[in-house]
Amino acid sequence: MTDLYQTLSRDVAAHGLVLRGGFVPAEGDGVPDAAAGKPTLSVLMVGNTDGTMWPAFENARRDEKNPLDAWVARVIGPLAKQHGARAMYPYDLPPMPFQRWAQRAWPLHMSPLGLLLDAEFGLWHALRAALLFDRAVALPLVPRTVSPCITCAAKPCLTACPVAAFSAQGFDYQGCRSHLATPLGDDCVNGGCKSRAACPIGAGHQYPLSQRRFHMRSFSGR
């Protein structure tokens, strides 16, 4: 790894976050300029795995709209400025193809749920930011992996949802939200998505209950 990658790894780790590799943009990646008039030559991805981020967030959260997004921006924004990078986030408009970028940077695989699966952490990881540099950054070698979903015949993730929101046709967003809005959805809202938890890959890295509850309440609006 380069000194910059190692330094950034330490910087984000202080907040429970982790660098998830990087890539050199190519045509079709949809990566904007790193700065006005300066093309992006390197992209580093920032995310979280298992529950490591959660204590740092809970200790620093504020009473504000979208507290997790706001906290990530407070952490990543100054680090990006310090290292001469442009920070981008999954909620930016217009939306950027963060899933495509993540798969360019790290060996992630599309799961039947439409979430990216990591061979070690399963579905218990997320992307939080991308750092765009107008200079070349030497990147770590990342081993390629084969998707565990290929050999998972049972696919319990597709049958665990109480309202069958996941199928070969995709995610029934409205069906899921409608269920969560009723008392019948209390178990999902308070305990986390049953389909996500049903995946056997990375089961030992599951988010803590407070984190699962936070995400489900944010999604459901409750």
Does 1 score more than 80 pLDDT?
no
Does 119 score more than 80 pLDDT?
yes
Cβ neighbors of 79 (< 8 A, separation 6 or more) are 8, 11, 12, 87
Return the H-helix or E-strand segment holding 117: strand 116-118
pLDDT digits (tens, 9 = 90+) for 42-59: 999 999 999 999 999 999
* Sign of the four-CA dihedral 24, 26, 31, 34: positive
Closest CA to 47 of 24, 21, 70: 21
Mean pLDDT computed over 179-189: 96
Does 18 score more than 70 pLDDT?
yes
Return the H-helix or E-strand segment holding 80: helix 67-82
Does 210 score more than 50 pLDDT?
yes
Does 184 score more than 70 pLDDT?
yes
Mean pLDDT computed over 172-178: 94
* pLDDT category of residue 222 using cuts at 50, 70 and 90: confident
Mean pLDDT computed over 200-213: 97
* pLDDT category of residue 2 using cuts at 50, 70 and 90: low
